[in-house]
């Protein structure tokens, strides 16, 4: 199951940098996770400074 990024996202990009498969990209006002690419490793969740990422 892919991770999701909430509206608490600050668009800092740290999650994109930590994703080993490139499943995160900048969206409209916040970063978004591509569910088809996400391997649910949790690296992005651990790297988010505001805790905006969680399991879907």
Nearest to residue 32, comparing CAs of 50, 20, 44?
Answer: 44
The number of folded domains in the chain is 1
Global pTM value: 0.90
Cα–Cα distance for residue pair 13/26, rounded to 1 Å:
8
pLDDT of residue 47: 93
From residue 48, how far is each of 3, 9, 16 by CA, in Å? 12, 9, 10
Residues of the chain with pLDDT under 50: none
Assign residue 41 the CATH number of its domain.
3.30.70.20
pLDDT of residue 56: 86
pLDDT of residue 4: 96
Cα-Cα end-to-end distance for the chain: 6
Structure tokens at 21: 């498969």
Residue 16 belongs to domain spanning: 3-55
The position carrying tokens 């909430």 is 6
pLDDT of residue 1: 79
């Amino acid at each position: 199951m892919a991770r999701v990024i909430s509206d608490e996202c600050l668009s800092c990009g740290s999650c994109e940098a930590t994703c080993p498969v490139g499943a995160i990209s900048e969206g409209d006002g916040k970063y978004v996770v591509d569910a088809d690419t996400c391997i649910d490793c949790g690296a992005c969740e651990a790297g988010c400074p505001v805790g905006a990422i969680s399991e879907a």
